[in-house]
Structure 1
């Protein structure tokens, strides 16, 4: 018995067939069956959202899958992942710093502290109007 027949996906497929049919598959056929089965096996994802949207007489489906990447990445993919991670961290840091500066500015303005006399960014006036 070939090691391919011990593969879990092939074993699962063959177990649903009569034994005389199981024996008729060659290794080449089993490899192609494994590829065909593997193409539709997604596994478990943290986020798995699927739906259908009807637009006039047409129906469109959407799939949103997200989860931990378990694949081995090529050098190019590793480089792209590192750049993407650096950009994401930079954007998140910029957003957090901007929000913190805004909060500090609003607290300063609420306390009546003027850094520059007769000058205002207008943020405090906008904030007061917003929560009037």
Structure 2
């Protein structure tokens, strides 16, 4: 769908955004054909705003290197491989969360038992209660 009237093409959101980034003196110099060519060449690029957008440059001797860190919600369709990796990452995250939560819960139960003076195995101690008292209660 190509707009033929210059006014219609310049109202296109992509073209408006592109022209807004140019100096006012250069905006009027583009023909419709040039604007359409720019839209076709650059239109596939996502100009979206990212939740995290960190860009910096590092000069190393005679060369300059740039680094970009972008993060945000993924709105594109994932490939089969990407979906598998995402599922595996989520499974590892959930397993890690459950493991850490269980260990923290056991620690709280152990410290509570020790604070109440309950001795389940007479003459045996893990030493956690003594460490906790020395580190946090004195």
TM-score tier (shorter): 0.7 to 0.9
Give the 5 Å matches for 1:70-109.
70-109=75-114
CA 1:117–1:61: 2 relative to 1, 3 Å: farther
Can you give the 5+ residue segments of structure 1 that lack an aligned partner in the other structure? Answer: none
Q: Which residue of 2 aligns with 1:23?
A: 32
Q: 1:53 touches 1:60 (CA, 8 Å); kept in 2?
A: yes
Given that 2:14 and 2:39 are in contact with CA atoms closer than 8 Å, whether structure 1 keeps it comes out as no
Contact 2:50 2:72 in 1 (8 A): yes
User: Structure 2: which 5+ runs fail to align?
Assistant: 4-8
The change in CA–CA distance for 1:90 and 1:32 in structure 2 (over 3 A counts) is same
Please state how far the C-alpha of 1:24 moved relative to its aligned partner.
3.3
Encode CA deviations 1:1-56: one digit per residue, 9 max, x unaligned: 617x68632353357632x6222328555422335xx26x2x22333445567899
On the 8 A contact 2:15/2:35 being kept in 1, the answer is: no
> 2 CA distance for matches of 1:59 and 1:21?
33
Alignment RMSD (CA, Å): 3.2
Q: 2:6 — aligned with what?
A: none
Q: How does 1:112-131 map to 2 (within 5 A)?
A: 112-131=117-136
Q: Residue 21 and residue 51 in structure 1: after superposition, are their counterparts in 2 closer, same or farther (change >3 A)?
A: closer
Q: Helix, strand or coil for the counterpart of 2:17?
A: helix
TM-score, structure 1 as length reference: 0.72
Query: Which whole-Å deviations, capped at 9, do the CAs of 1:58-111 have from their partners, x for residues lacking one?
Result: 987654433221111011100100000000011011111111110000000000
Structure 1 distance, partners of 2:95, 2:51, is: 25
Distance, in Å, in 1 between the alignment partners of 2:115 and 2:61 is 54
What TM-score comes out, normalization by structure 2 length?
0.70
